[in-house]
Amino acid sequence: MVHCYRLLGSVHEAEDLVQETMLRAWRAWDSYDAARASVRTWLYRIATNACLTALEGRARRPLPAGLGGPSDDPGAPLTPSFDVPWLQPFPDARLGDPAALATARSGLRLAFVAAMQLLPARQRAVLVLREVLEFSAAEVATMLGTTTASVNSALQRARAGVAGASAEGLAETDGTVIDRYVQAFETADVEALVSLLTDDVVLEMPPVPLWYRGATDYGRFMVRLFAMRGPHWRLLPSAANGQPTLAAYCRRDGVYRLHTLQLFTVRAGRVSHIVVFQDPALPELFGLPPVLAP
């Protein structure tokens, strides 16, 4: 499922394509030849080609920063764009045991998956098959029905396309700064929040298409948020894309209601990137209660 998610950027679509892969494999089992490929290679070939077929004619799944420049207006209207097929976070719980997470982490970070959405579909496939799953160029050529030279050329172009995301994709997972972030957020302490950020921090909030860069604009926006939603919050740990993640609950009508899922990148002991997801599918995807007791 992780393989399909990396290519598609959607958990729900990945689930559908896994089912499609199993169906195709069952129908083709009589033609499987163990002398030509291992079962693993055979299944990845089927899954990859099913994903490539699904991607034909589809719009890519971006984050807001992939659509234009940052906003410098903390009072800009927070109008969601539901017509955009936004990139979804991937619940770590879907990976199973910790060893699976450790193996998948390098190719699951949100920045890496988001950067891949900018690539043509076949370049995405080559990059994942070669760099993440470590198939040989010859094996990938057989999977995709092309030549080794074409695979190597596509890999070179794909590497250039995701180069900027690679460093962020390997950022830290230390939870100390996240613990301090929780304390500051739950007390609506904007100054303390800003002190935990890098100067060039990025804040994105899909499905709202605008985004902010810089600790100053982040602080101005948070002043607005606490003025709008109030200072009463609870943040619970979650896990997505192998990165620190928090479920944020805002108190309304005497109870805490799920507001957003916040996914963090930490660099040099400070938060460098925050993606705040507000999606009605989040409770089901992450097993989150929609309401907490006071």
**Where are the chain's structural domains?**
2-58+110-169, 176-292
Look at residue 170 in the predicted model and tell me its pLDDT.
47
What is the architecture, at CATH level 2, of domain 2-58+110-169? Orthogonal Bundle (1.10)
Looking at residue 99, what is its pLDDT?
59
CA–CA gap between residue 123 and residue 140 (Å, rounded):
11
Q: What is the pLDDT of residue 254?
A: 87
Per-residue pLDDT, 144? 95
Joined tokens for residue 195: 């002190």
pLDDT for residue 103 = 57
Could you tell me how many residues make up the chain? Answer: 294
Task: Say what the pLDDT of residue 37 is.
Answer: 79
Q: Which of 237, 236, 278, 240 shows the shortest CA–CA distance to 93?
A: 240
Residue 174: predicted pLDDT? 62
Structure confidence at residue 189 (pLDDT): 97
CA 173 to each of CA 176, 179, 264, 267, 269: distance values in angstroms, whole numbers, following the listed order: 9, 12, 9, 9, 9
pLDDT of residue 169: 46
Q: What is the pLDDT of residue 104?
A: 62
| Ranges under pLDDT 50 in the chain | 169-170
Q: What's the pLDDT at 113?
A: 92
| Same fold across 2-58+110-169 and 176-292 | no
- Asked if 260 and 278 count as a contact pair (C-beta separation under 8 A), the reply is yes
Quick: pLDDT tens for 33-78.
777 878 889 899 999 999 999 999 888 899 999 999 999 998 999 9
Domain 176-292 has CATH 3.90.1280.10: no
pLDDT of amino acid 78:
93
Q: Cα–chain-centroid distance for residue 265?
A: 11
